[in-house]
A = this chain, B = another copy of it.
Amino acid sequence: MFLTVDPQSPITLYEQLAASVRAGILDGSIAHGERLPSARELAGSLDLNVHTVLRAYQALREEGLLDLRRGRGAVITAPSRDLAEVTAALDALIGAASAARIGPDTLISLVRARLSSTQTTQEGPR
């Protein structure tokens, strides 16, 4: 399990951490049912404040990816997914954007616009 964070990034620390966990869940490096390090522990090893870690954990819980309970810690509730199709679609998108000379910011804007115009499907297992 490789959870990392870059203090220099413009993206907030808790968001980076959450993204790191999401990625781990997706690619299977963090398995369903697995327990994440305790907030205090992870805060220590990443040199973050406990509250920052907890904020990431709570964001993940709101997405239905994590189960948080006192005394027990943070347990993954979402299964790994088959990413083959998503990865393929993603590659196709990056390729098409590159061909059309569309920059990173523009592409992110496009994705966001499409996402917000669509009904947001709740994440996690049924």
Contacts and interface: CB of A to CB of B under 8 A. Distances in A.
Interface in A69-126: 81-83, 85-86, 88-115, 118, 120-126
Contacts of A22: 105-106, 109
A23 to B, nearest CB: 7
Q: Main secondary structure on chain A at its contact with chain B?
A: helix
Interface of A: 18-19, 22-23, 26, 59, 63, 81-83, 85-86, 88-115, 118, 120-126
B86 A100 contact: yes
B93 A90 contact: yes
Contacts of A118: 94, 98
A106 B123 contact: yes
